[in-house]
Amino acid sequence: MAYTPSTHPFLVDKLVPHRGITALSGHPEAGKSWLMLEIAKCVATGTPLLGKFQSLKGNVLIIDEETGIDELWKRAKMLSFSEDFSIFFHIQCGFKLDNEKDLTYLLSVVRKNDISLIIFDPYVAMHNKAENSAEETAMVMEAMKKFNDEGAAVMYVHHLRKDSVMKFGYAQALRGSSALLGRLDSLIVVKKITDGDGVSDEIQILHEKSRRGKKIKPCQFSLVEEKENEKMVLVDIVEIEPIKRKIEQAMDAISGMFLDEIEELSRMDIILSVKKETGIGEKNISEALRKMVKENLLIEVQKGKMKHYRISLNKKDEGSEAVL
């Protein structure tokens, strides 16, 4: 390779570590595939991701088992991919990382083409192991590590558990065994916060884990479809206002308090615990509680002079005891 981890720790500054493993995660239709392709383009051309995160130029290999050739070609064309980009594709070939023959072949492709970044989309289609088994997940991650040993960074696209973010927080909401998170060097979560009816969507980027340096601050960009030009562009990246992020951090911390099957917590216990854990003030914690009640993630119950909260098991059920 033309560069080493000691001098160039990142392929994409702060987000995609060189010779590391990165997960790009989110719920369905959150914008994962668009961002994945944009990252591939930026590495292949050596241009900054979203105009902000500098990328090292290198060859890219995309292993796609979900999108299919027609849709992938359409999206690549909309993102202004060019035939001279150093991006190689294997589309719906049925590769499995736990198949020794497939792994050996892919490693040879990485060596032969001097690949800097290999992308697997989606993770779940790339193996036959039990998703919730820590031992079997570790085997898949060990296979990915072999690409690191050959000089390539690995990125895989993965889903979050349904309706799990409130309870677990983004970092713990990856589908499958917790061994996935433990082996990651970087975790990027994308979250759609507006629905532009196919014209313009606002997408948040949340950097939930970084083993090499500080995480980037939460930010968001616009995913804009220029229908007259048949193009898709990712523009206007901005940092999320700190006050909004503090409320989201408080919500994550509150969610974590219910992990041990605690059925109910008092308002005072929640405020004191979140303050101690995060340093976030009472005003933002109170706003987080109000938001979680409004979104029917928590049910608020008045007991004497003290408010208590419990998890709403059914989001459609407003809860007769909820105080909005």
- What is the CATH architecture assignment of 243-311? Orthogonal Bundle (1.10)
Determine which helix (DSSP H) or strand (DSSP E) holds 186, and give its type and residue range: strand 186-192
Compute the C-alpha angle 236/80/56, nearest 5°. 70
Residue ranges of the chain with per-residue pLDDT less than 50: 1-6, 315-324
pLDDT of 198: 55
Q: What is the pLDDT of residue 175?
A: 85
The answer to whether 211 and 184 have CB atoms below 8 angstroms apart is yes
Structural domain spans, the chain: 10-240, 243-311
pLDDT digits (tens, 9 = 90+) for 181-223: 889 999 999 988 876 555 678 899 999 999 988 899 889 999 9
Residue 288 has φ and ψ, to the nearest 5°, of -65, -40
The pLDDT, as a whole number, for residue 206 is 92
Tokens 């049925």 identify what position? 94
> Following DSSP, what letter does each residue of 199-235 receive, concatenated?
TEEEEEEEEEEESSSPPPPPEEEEEEEETTTTEEEEE
The whole-angstrom separation of Cα 75 and Cα 232 is: 8
**Is 10-240 in CATH node 3.40.50.300?**
yes
11 close to 43: Cβ distance less than 8 angstroms: yes
Query: What would the pLDDT profile of 155-174 be if each residue is shown by its tens digit?
Result: 999 988 775 555 556 777 78
CA distance 172 to 168: 5
Task: State the pLDDT at residue 261.
Answer: 63
